[in-house]
Amino acid sequence: MAFTEVYYQPERWTEFHFFASGGADGAISESVNPGVRWKLKEIRVRLSVAFASVEDLTVRISATQGSAYNHFLKSEAMNGIKQKWYTYDSDGLTFQSDDQMVIALSLVSGQNIIGIEVLGWAVLG
């Protein structure tokens, strides 16, 4: 195995903000793909009511380079949790142009309203 070298040109970045909400029965799955190189700064998950049952939150990256590059950023049981913020350092986590982040919640009660926010930067142009 050997590393593959890739060199990136200087780029200008702009902030982005994705937001989704829902409250229907069944699983929730939202994806973020700005379509250009991007950096992840923060993920915020808010629930109107804390879950009293086993609900799993997963955040995974589906990599454009193939399944060997896919990975989970976070996998957490949401039992008893009403609000969760995941913050990354000031430089953020850098991803390729077609890398897709998928945020999923295993099962959702129609009584619970869920809001998911993703903040970061994307390359201009």
Catalogue the E-assigned strands of 1-125. 13-22, 26-32, 38-47, 56-62, 71-77, 83-87, 93-95, 100-108, 114-123
Q: Which residues form the domain of 62? A: 19-123
Q: Which residues contact 110 (CB under 8 A, 6 or more apart)?
A: 23, 24, 25
**75 falls within a domain:** yes
> Residue 40's pLDDT is what?
95
- Give a yes or no: residue 13 inside a domain: no
CA distance to 21, 30, 66, 84, 107, per residue, from 55 (Å): 17, 16, 28, 13, 6
Write the DSSP symbol of residue 31. Answer: E
Q: Is residue 11 part of a domain?
A: no
Report the distance separating Cα 111 and Cα 113, nearest Å: 7
For residue 6, tell me if it sits in a domain: no
Is 5 inside any structural domain?
Answer: no
28 found inside a domain: yes
Q: Which residues pair with 26 in a beta bridge?
A: 108
Residue 27 CA to residue 113 CA, distance in Å, equals 13
Structural domains of the chain, count: 1
Asked whether residue 68 is assigned to any structural domain, the reply reads: yes
CATH of the domain at 57: 2.60.120.260
pLDDT for res 7: 72
Question: Pairing state of beta strands 114-123 and 38-47?
Answer: antiparallel
What's the average pLDDT block by block, 10 residues per block, for the chain (125 residues)?
A: 72 89 76 92 90 87 92 91 90 91 80 87 86
Q: What is the pLDDT of residue 72?
A: 93
pLDDT at 110: 63
- Is residue 27 included in any domain, yes or no? yes
